[in-house]
Amino acid sequence: MFNKHDISRNTCQLFGGQAKCGYDWWWHSFTGRHAVTGEERPFFIEFFLCNPASGGDEPVFGQLPQNREKGRKPSYLMVKAGSWGEDASQLHRFWGWNKIELTMESPYFVKADDCYIDEKKTYGMVKVSLEEADAHPEYMCQSGEMSWKLEMDKKVAFNVGYGAGKLFRKLQAFEMFWHAEGMKTAYAGEVYWNGEKYIVTPETSYGYADKNWGKDFTSPWVWLSSNNLTSKLTGKKLEDSVFDIGGGCPKVGPIALKRKLLSAYWHEGKCYEFNFSKFWTFTRTKFDCKETETQILWHVEQKTWRNRMVTDITCEKKDMLLVNYEAPNGTKKHNRLWNGGNGKGVVKLYRDGKLIDEVIAENVGCEYGEY
């Protein structure tokens, strides 16, 4: 049973070795509608922390030549906010560690000036002028303005089990950890995107919330999730369903577990999990991600003793971003990490060889990148 909420896994994990070389982020994505036209638009918000042991009053940018020459690691809170679509844009705002308020206890919160996040709400503003973006490539972002005020209700969790459990977190055994406290999350509130107002409602937010932390990023990097699902067998919208797929090449210490994905499918109140760490389920995975001139395509097949899930998703590159992060050691490894919120496709679910459902998936959150 993966649908077990555990907010202790959402606390800040930057202690011990990860305080010196580590990151921790809380990711949120959702859909809003234009207050006048009703046009649908997907958004994302992320609070990204890096290397508190190197922190001070001002953010340290690892991509600046003078910092790279001195071996100074990046250290900051970065609030990433933006939108997908044909004018997709990511906006970044930074603070030094001495300007951040947060708790290492549960429930978590992070605050800096007028940007805030916890388990149930978030608000903030990020504004980057064209001149700033051009003059500061170390910001790793485009230009624009976004402000938001949102409440969130995390309906379904993907608790991946032992890998992000208390012992493994304490040992910091994995290079990259993952916990989805709200793989199905209902958001409510409003967003202003470049001066235009968007309304976010629980019924049509198709929201998602997770977190990652660790010492480095995986490659390949794969993520797919949606709770805007319609059954092709019945024609009905699935109101109590969501799937979530993530991973690529997890590492336990120096050992790389190549081409491994963790997946969960909550289908109308029933759990179907494909989790390689639960060895007794005999989970087997095959996946293929392709980049064409105009699209990114994902094909994922997973099996256990009794269940099988086949996922095919496509996202138009014109609606996506090459999302930017620098690793805690100061390198920027992922330079073609495709990230989108407008994916579409089909998911087939089988049990004992019989088709349970075939669904049309829309508003799919999706990522793919390799270095």
Is residue 218 included in any domain, yes or no? yes
Check if the beta carbon of residue 148 is closer than 8 Å to that of residue 136: no
- Residues 233-254 pLDDT 10s: 999 999 999 999 999 876 566 6
Q: Structural domain of residue 39, as residue ranges?
A: 7-369
From CA 24, how far away is CA 47, in angstroms rounded? 8
CATH number at residue 219: 2.40.370.10
Is residue 2 included in any domain, yes or no? no
Give the residue from 125, 75, 109 showing the smallest Cα distance to 95: 75
Is residue 91 included in any domain, yes or no? yes
Is residue 179 included in any domain, yes or no? yes
- pLDDT, residue 138, reads 97
From CA 242, how far away is CA 229, in angstroms rounded? 7
75-84, 143-152, 153-162, 356-365, range with the lowest pLDDT = 153-162
Check if the beta carbon of residue 214 is closer than 8 Å to that of residue 177: yes
Mean pLDDT, rounded, for 27-35: 98
Q: Where are the alpha helices (DSSP H) in 149-267?
A: 166-171
61-70, 137-146, 225-234, 306-315, range with the lowest pLDDT = 61-70
- pLDDT, residue 257, reads 65
- Residues 200-223 pLDDT 10s: 999 999 999 999 999 999 989 999
From CA 153, how far away is CA 142, in angstroms rounded? 30
The amino acid sitting at 119 is: E
From CA 248, how far away is CA 257, in angstroms rounded? 9
Please tell me whether residue 89 adopts helix, strand or coil conformation.
strand
Is residue 58 included in any domain, yes or no? yes
From CA 82, how far away is CA 27, in angstroms rounded? 12
From CA 302, how far away is CA 206, in angstroms rounded? 24
From CA 328, how far away is CA 108, in angstroms rounded? 22
Is residue 355 included in any domain, yes or no? yes
Is residue 17 included in any domain, yes or no? yes
Tokens 């709200």 belong to 182
Mean pLDDT, rounded, for 64-71: 92
| Cα dihedral across residues 151, 153, 154, 156: positive or negative | negative
Domain count, the chain: 1
Is residue 1 included in any domain, yes or no? no
- C-alpha distances in Å from residue 337, one per residue of 318, 331, 350, 362: 14, 14, 31, 21
Q: What percent of the chain has pLDDT over 90?
A: 88
